[in-house]
Chain A
């Protein structure tokens, strides 16, 4: 599934921030609010190895996006996702609204699988986000549904999956960051000014 569903001129790509993923897409999904554009599909992670996401998940650059159900067991047909010990809060304004976890895909059976370059960012809504007012523009409407959706707020997660190879020429790598090479050049510029010892 590509980005072709929207009619934007060249140069516009699906490149959501963490906050947008949580506040706009995940929150609306969990609150059963209409999502415009409704472009992120739902996938059962158990049946999907990361290399099978192409065509099933929404692709933006080298990233794939999809909703899935929260599950303790993250095994797929050929491997499993293992979290690394980094968690990050996602804030909207000054309010914590979500949690971001990072997982690495291992091929084989836990715990003896072989590590791959596939990385997943997994976003959870924090408890109570759906019921708290003022976290986003849609919160006023979500208030009405508070009683129904509260229990479900943690049921959905939204995922961003990519293969971490910076060599691949994708638009998200395209000159957006200074390459390591550029950094080297920059530091040599400094050396010029210092002048090498004789």
Chain B
């Protein structure tokens, strides 16, 4: 594609097409949807089903400058005429959504959503994950309504617009021993990797992780409950999975916000104080597993893993431990959590959970809170059932 601006044959040196999310949504996608003319035809229309990610860079090249990211418009088509899911399969593989959609704001006004997808080679469910990532941006139909009611993002695809134009950014995931030649590489400096971890934790990232964990755990425990649970008394412990997993997710977010600043000298190094529950206990297994995977991510994530980073996760360990220990009714049933080594977070210090709940629910009544109160009530039923 040749680029001509005001007679100049190309983009001046040092300049890149690297639009902000706001520019993508408010300028390019808005014009596309409204069929308005776009000054410079830098974003092409692409049929996602007919384009493999490794062909995108050829098709979506802008000028002759080297690119790390590529942009295109795509028209989303439904997978099935009656359903709401989008068909994102290509000849060689398919794009699979990961995580939760992110709300895109511009000066506190909600303008759209971003979905993150990963390309898998092969056919679901046996695809092989690749390093190709796509961010799919769509405009928000609800941009004028109260942002709080949508603050948590969409939970299922069914609630969102799955038809029409989207603008996509495709790039190849960098491995974390990244080359240091890129200015946008936050990990090029030791302290950067650390701040990235910390800051990503501060904007409700943990909340999202926990919800995600909660979701997978729930699936897991549902799967377990499909087994004939009552016939075997040794399965009783499995029932605790639910209360722990939900209470953990429900208030951890809020408690995490109350943590002292990281790197603050007042943080005791609690990492060593955390004694995981006996590993033969199913709850211990579950939590230990989840924590391990978090640690694995962190270690993988930062080649420059340093003390502060560890403290960050030590704090998470501590929180999880404290919730396992201090969580009123549920954990008192669990002998393994009466371990005195948990005394750094006594039950007395814990905020009243139902108050947390009222607080959370009253602030917005958004999707998240509703979801949590639902699981919460489900788990209370469970608790009372167990303690009888």
Contacts and interface: CB of A to CB of B under 8 A. Distances in A.
Given A175-B114, A185-B99, A198-B224, A166 B42 contact: no
B203 A9 contact: no
A128 to B, nearest CB: 22
Nearest to B176: A183
Contact of B202 (A167, A183, A188): A167
**Contact residues on A (Cβ < 8 Å of other chain), bracket:** 35 or more
Interface stretch (B147-155, B180-188, B352-360): B180-188
Contact of B293 (A24, A174, A191): A191
A164 interface: yes
> 9 nearest interchain CB pairs?
A11-B19, A185-B99, A167-B199, A16-B14, A171-B20, A172-B184, A166-B196, A15-B16, A180-B200
A63 to B, nearest CB: 6
B335 interface: no
Interface stretch (B23-31, B85-93, B246-254, B365-373): B23-31
**Secondary structure of the A side of the interface?**
mixed
Interface in B32-56: 38-40, 42
A52 interface: no
B375 to A, nearest CB: 18
Given A181-B205, A184-B297, A196-B289, A121 B183 contact: yes
Given A36-B12, A197-B285, A186 B98 contact: yes
B81 interface: no
A20 B200 contact: no
Nearest to B40: A9
Interface in A1-39: 3, 6-21, 24-25, 36-37, 39
Contact of B39 (A9, A24, A186): A9
Contacts of B174: 177
Residue from B18, B171, B195, B197 with most neighbouring chain A CB atoms (10 Å): B18
B113 interface: no
B11 A8 contact: yes
Contacts, number: 192
A185 B293 contact: no
Interface of B: 5-6, 11-21, 23-24, 27-28, 38-40, 42, 66, 68-69, 96, 98-100, 114, 116, 118, 125, 129, 133, 135, 169, 171, 173-174, 180-186, 188-192, 195-197, 199-200, 202-203, 205, 208-209, 212-213, 216-217, 220, 224, 282, 285-286, 289, 293-294, 296-297, 300-301
A172 B169 contact: no
Interface string A47-73: 000000000000010010000000000
A39 B224 CA distance: 64
Nearest to B96: A189
26 contacts: A3-B15, A10-B23, A11-B17, A11-B24, A11-B27, A12-B16, A14-B14, A15-B183, A24-B14, A36-B12, A119-B189, A121-B183, A171-B18, A171-B23, A172-B183, A172-B184, A176-B68, A176-B184, A177-B185, A179-B200, A180-B196, A181-B208, A182-B99, A184-B294, A186-B99, A187-B297
A94 B297 CA distance: 36
A190 B129 contact: yes
A36 B197 CA distance: 39
Contacts of B28: 10-11
Nearest to B98: A185
A171 B135 CA distance: 14
A196 B296 contact: no
A52 B322 CA distance: 45
A192 interface: yes
B8 to A, nearest CB: 9
A104 to B, nearest CB: 8
A173 interface: yes
A25 B16 contact: no
Contact of A165 (B185, B199, B220, B286): B199
A73 to B, nearest CB: 23
B68 A166 contact: no
Contacts of B133: 178, 182
Interface in A57-104: 60, 63, 84, 86, 88, 90, 100, 102, 104
Contact of A175 (B21, B96, B98, B199): B21
B363 to A, nearest CB: 22
